[in-house]
Amino acid sequence: MKKKFQTTFSTRQYMLAKDFEIYYYSTRHLSKIENHTHSYYEFYFFLDGDVTMIIEDSSFLLKRGDVVLIPPGIHHYAVINSHEQPYRRFVLWISVDFCNRLLALSSDYVYLMQRAMVMKKYIFHNDVIAFNAIQSKVFRLIEEIHSDRFGHASQVSVCVNDLLLHLNRQAHERENPKDARSGQNLYQNLLYYIEDHLEEDLSLEKLSSVFYVSKYHIAHVFKENTGLSVHQYILKKRLSACYHAIQSGEGISGICLQFGFKEYSSFYRAFKKEFGISPRECRHINTHKPTQK
C-alpha cells in the first residue's frame, strides 16, 4: 500500500473543502468513536481490520471490499473489535451541494445516494476484482490531488467524477442484471461472464458448457467481433486486472497466482509485453488505467 498517502486520523466531523475530501487511514490503536452524524455524504471503503459498523439500529461486520455509504443525518459509528491488525480504510466526503450539481448533469451520478436515502441501503459488497478496480481509481484521485502537474485541478475533477460514476454503474448493474443484460447477444453475454469470472476457469470447454453452444462457435464469435482469440482476450483482461491489483498495493506473487498464471516468468513476459513495464515498475509509477491493445 502507498504509505506516503496515509493521513493522520482526526476526529473532525465537518468538511473544510467545498466539494469533497478524501483520506487514507491506517491505524492500529484507535479510541472509541462516538455515535455521530454528518451534513455530507460519507463513502467508506473498507480495506482491513476487525470492525463492525453501526448504522442507525443495524450492525454490519465489515469485510474487505465493502463500500459503506452514509447519507447526511444518519447516525453511525465504527466499533473496533480487535486491534491485532491495522484498521485501514479510505474515506470520501461529498458535500450535498456537490451532489446536487452532479445530479444536474445526470442522475447516474447519484444512484447510490438515492438508494441510501430512500431504500436505506448502506452497504455494498465487492469481490476482489471489483474492489481492486475501485482502489485503482481512488489512488488515481489521491495521487492527482498531491501532484502539481499541468491541468491538476481539471484532472482532479475528472478523477472524482469518474470514481463516483464507476461506483454507481457497478451498483446499478449488480442490482439490475436483467436491465443490464437483457436482449444482449451471445458475444455481449460472453463479455459479461468473463468479466465476472476472471479468477476462474475460462477455457473454451468451460464457456461452451455455460452457454450451451460449441466451443468452435464461441471462438468464431470472438474472432469476428474482436479480431482476437478467446485466449488472447482473456489474457488481456486478466493482465488489466493484475495491473489494477498491483497499483492498489497487493502482493505481486499472490496476484500472479490469483489470476491463473502458474509461473511468474510467463506472467512477467506477458505483463511486460502488454504494458511495456515490469510488474514491479508498475507499482512505483503514477499512471492512469492502462489502455487495452
pLDDT score, position 90? 94
pLDDT digits (tens, 9 = 90+) for 105-141: 999 999 999 989 989 999 999 887 788 889 889 988 9
Give the pLDDT of residue 84. Answer: 84
Q: What average pLDDT score do residues 149-156 get?
A: 92
Q: Where are the domains of the chain?
A: 3-129, 183-283
H helices present in 228-278, as ranges: 230-247, 252-258, 264-275
Rounded average pLDDT over 138-145: 91
Q: Quote the CA–CA distance of 180 and 197 in Å, as a whole number.
A: 17
- Read off the C-alpha cell for 204: 473454451
Q: In CATH terms, is domain 183-283 a member of 1.10.10.60?
A: yes
Packed helices 128-145 and 230-247: angle between N→C axes, nearest 10 degrees: 50
**CATH (residue range 3-129):** 2.60.120.10
Question: Could you tell me the pLDDT band of residue 182, with boundaries at 50, 70 and 90?
Answer: very low
The span from the CA of 152 to the CA of 145, in Å, is: 7
| pLDDT at residue 180 is higher than 50 | no
**Mean of the pLDDT values across residues 245-274?**
87
Spatial separation of the C-alpha atoms in residues 168 and 174, rounded to whole Å = 10
Chain segment 202-254, per-residue pLDDT in tens: 999 999 888 888 888 889 888 888 888 999 999 999 998 898 888 877 888 88
Mind giving me the DSSP string for 122-156? Answer: -EE---HHHHHHHHHHHHHHHHHHT---TTHHHHH
